[in-house]
Amino acid sequence: MTTKSNANSVLILFAHPALQKSRVNVRLIQYVRDIEGVTFHDLYEAYPDFHVQVQFEQEQLMKHDIIVLHHPIFWFSIPALLKEWMDLVLEHGWAYGRRGRALKGKKLLSVISTGGRESLYQKEGYNKHTIGEFLLPIRQMAYVCKMDYLPPFVVHGTNTITEEEIVRQGECYQKIITSLRDGTIDLDAACSLSRINLDVERIIKGART
């Protein structure tokens, strides 16, 4: 897909092992997969046998400025294929280590969903930890690879979320990806939030309040 001049290119790495059962993620991706300048890459569709093509994946990472990891939270972690992708693609000497600078300066965004409500992901909640704490391995991966990690886009409560809220989150997702592509997000303001979709109108430059 072509990219507007002076715009950032965006790679969305989507990993959902049971998309046929999804009612939220299957809708969210409809808002972003055809945006100009965005490459949408469904890992489970590409690698049903888990045989990840490392060179191809590294080439894709090199071609894009902003990397998005879009997946549901499975047992407080990432889906198995995304972990396999990380283990194989982010090689020492390429993505990290003394000579591993291939991803330096690129931005990384987690887009995730949880079946449980937001109140469950608090220190005083049922899960005893915030969603940010569950994402610490991803944040540390970005740090080791010298990437800039942005606050995550989080959709909580997918088991009970309303149709109206699904649409609202889909439109929000589209705005954020488009704004990241165009460089119209106030990154300082965004990084002050616990999740990037908490106050979209405030962080997108020129947006109506």
Tell me how many degrees the CA angle 87-180-144 measures, rounded to the nearest 5: 30
Q: For residue 51, what pLDDT is reported?
A: 98
**For 157-168, b where at least 16 C-beta lie within 10 A, e where not — what string?**
bbeebeeeebee
Non-local CB neighbours of 19 within 8 Å, separated by 6+ positions:
25, 26, 44
DSSP state of 72: E
Q: What is the pTM of this model?
A: 0.92
Distance CA 88, CA 95 (A): 11
Nearest of 89, 96, 133 to residue 81 by alpha carbon: 89
What is the pairing mode between strands 153-155 and 107-113?
parallel
- Classified as helix, coil or strand, 60 is helix
Q: How many other C-beta atoms can be found within 10 angstroms of the C-beta atom of residue 4?
A: 11
Q: For residue 163, what pLDDT is reported?
A: 95
Query: What separation, in Å, do the N-terminal and C-terminal C-alpha atoms of the chain show?
Result: 32
Q: For residue 1, what pLDDT is reported?
A: 45
Homologous superfamily of 10-203 in CATH? Answer: Flavodoxin domain (3.40.50.360)
Distance CA 97, CA 91 (A): 9
In which region does residue 197 sit, left (phi positive, over 0), alpha (psi from -120 to 50) or beta (all else)?
alpha
Q: What share of the chain is helix, strand, coil (3-state, %, to 5)?
A: 35, 15, 45
Q: For residue 54, what pLDDT is reported?
A: 98
Question: pLDDT under 50 in the chain at which residues?
Answer: 1-3, 208-209
Nearest of 194, 183, 119 to residue 150 by alpha carbon: 194
| CB-count exposure of residue 189 (10 Å: 0-12, 13-18, 19+) | middle
